[in-house]
Amino acid sequence: MTYREIPTYLVVANPQEGKPEVGHFGEELRRERESRGVALETISEKTKVITRYLTALENEKFELLPGGILSKGIVRGYARTVGLDEAVWVERFVAASLEHEREGDWSEFVQNVGKTRPKDVGRGGRKLRRAGLWALILVVAGGGWAAWHYLGGRVLADEVQQHAVSSTAAAAPASAVHQ
């Protein structure tokens, strides 16, 4: 099993009660520092890392740390100053930060699901939709009536004009014959 496959929590013996308790990366790091009597300010002075980043590391607020290799350097300096195995703690940090990222993605996904779902339209929204539908029906019906009325009048006028021309044409040869 590699360090990447180790879960981010460890079972650590609690010396006061003799019972194991579940601890996370940051909690375990803090315990190691406190058990050796090293203050955060001491780590900050020796590593030139601001205490805000060291506190974020212990609280597992990895998103507040600078990215990539800088975060590993912070963990390496912290471990060296406290007297821990640097390589082991950097690997544990990488595993914990990967787990933290996966958890963050999941919670972000869950939050976004609720945002994309349609909201329940109350009774007022239904009335507004119904009124809009009726308005659309009236506009379409009015447009249809206007088109029918306009085109119907033109067709009738065209038919009357054609009938008048054909009547005149038919009457003209008959009068020419009688003369």
Element holding 169 (H helix, E strand)? helix 123-178
CA nearest neighbour of 47 among 27, 83, 84, 76: 76
124 assigned to some structural domain: no
122 assigned to some structural domain: no
Residue 108: predicted pLDDT: 58
29 assigned to some structural domain: yes
60 and 136 together in one domain: no
Residue 64: predicted pLDDT: 85
Cα–Cα distance, 161 to 124 (Å, whole number): 55
Residue 38 lies in domain:
3-116
Is the pTM here over 0.85, yes or no? no
Residue 99: predicted pLDDT: 78
Residue 147: predicted pLDDT: 85
pLDDT tens-place string over residues 133-151: 999 999 999 998 888 877 7
Taking 50 as the pLDDT cut, the residues of the chain under it are: 1-23
- Decide if 6 contacts 92 (C-beta within 8 A): yes
Residue 22: predicted pLDDT: 32
Residue 106: predicted pLDDT: 52
68 and 11 together in one domain: yes
Cα–Cα distance, 81 to 74 (Å, whole number): 11
Cα–Cα distance, 9 to 25 (Å, whole number): 6
121 assigned to some structural domain: no
pLDDT tens-place string over residues 52-73: 999 989 998 888 888 777 889 9
137 assigned to some structural domain: yes
- Decide if 50 contacts 40 (C-beta within 8 A): no
153 and 99 together in one domain: no
